[in-house]
Amino acid sequence: MNLLWLQSGGCGGCTMSLLCAESPDLPATLEGVGIRLLWHPSLSEETGAEALSLLEQAAAGAAGLDLFCVEGAMLRGPNGSGRFHLMAGTDTPMTHWVQRLAARARYTVAVGTCAAFGGITAGGPNPTDACGLQFDGSHAGGLLGVDYRSAEGLPVINVAGCPTHPNWVTETLMSLALGELGQADLDELNRPRMFADHLVHHGCPRNEFYEFKASAEHASELGCMMEHLGCLGTQAHADCNTRLWNGDGSCTRGGYACINCTAPEFEEPGHVFQQTPKIAGIPIGLPTDMPRAWFVALASLSKAATPERLRRNAAADHIQVPPTVHKPKPR
């Protein structure tokens, strides 16, 4: 299978993350499932006329295009012309190249939240009129339109994240190459369910603090960051704490609140990222599927039952009180 990768409006961070793929590494992964890297702007040797010739052949149907990956947002401005971003060496907007290539591709994959939904590039007043391939924020549409389907009958597959976990990308490409990813394997935002059916909350090392609502109030403290520090791990669809980054870490494990970067419009939360907005002392953003009345009742009970160990450790930057050692009953 031929894989073609383009980079549009964004930072290239998803490619940087992808290069951290391990066990196996990226080249071994692609080779193992029969994927040939036709061209990637950062990884391929072909440049200039050679690269443009490859793209033209793929767009014209002369070269088979099985996997078409796009990283970065689609810059539609000014006034719908797309001329804020011209393909280097051409007078053609990147949006036009993407439309031509997507029309030929067996599968089209948006790599990263910018390509999926617009992401950081679409934040603020969005002067470049940035959007995703098939979503404009949380609204279906984007550059390719609601009705777009690739040659295999699938919509754009949104491997969202800012950046994406390398294994989200490699496993999606592997699944497509093996014919094992269909519409039923995508959630309502067309994200692969292999990671989107999980929450960042799953496997978070701060879960014991969350259970008793023993909360951190300042950066570097050990407690749960949901109540005061803006953590959205109970709402964010990703498996970051069970599929660790670089084999060892995640945002919450590093002491940073989850900002729900796999979701559309995460870049515009309406409040400071590291603060939790509240009404009458109750966080506005509650855990997924949790009715507000239940949360209030359970939080009150949990706080009343908080062990002193968790209460003290939550407000410290290291463990102050270790768990009690339970001695076996005498025989």
pLDDT at residue number 284: 81
How far apart (Å, rounded) are the C-alpha atoms in residues 224 and 148? 42
pLDDT at residue number 295: 81
In CATH terms, the fold of domain 2-196 is Rossmann fold (3.40.50)
pTM of the model: 0.94
pLDDT at residue number 280: 79
pLDDT at residue number 329: 84
pLDDT at residue number 72: 98
pLDDT at residue number 105: 98
pLDDT at residue number 279: 84
pLDDT at residue number 161: 98
pLDDT at residue number 89: 87
How far apart (Å, rounded) are the C-alpha atoms in residues 201 and 210? 10
**List of the chain residues with pLDDT < 50:** none
pLDDT at residue number 205: 95
How far apart (Å, rounded) are the C-alpha atoms in residues 208 and 229? 17
pLDDT at residue number 297: 87
Domain positions in the chain: 2-196, 199-316
How far apart (Å, rounded) are the C-alpha atoms in residues 251 and 274? 13
* Contact present, 156 and 109 (Cβ < 8 Å): yes
| pLDDT (tens digit per residue) in 223-235 | 999 999 999 999 9
Cα–chain-centroid distance for residue 267?
Answer: 12
Query: For the domain with range 199-316, which CATH number is right: 4.10.480.10, 1.10.3720.10, 3.40.605.10, 3.30.360.10?
Result: 4.10.480.10
Q: Does the fold of domain 199-316 match that of domain 2-196?
A: no
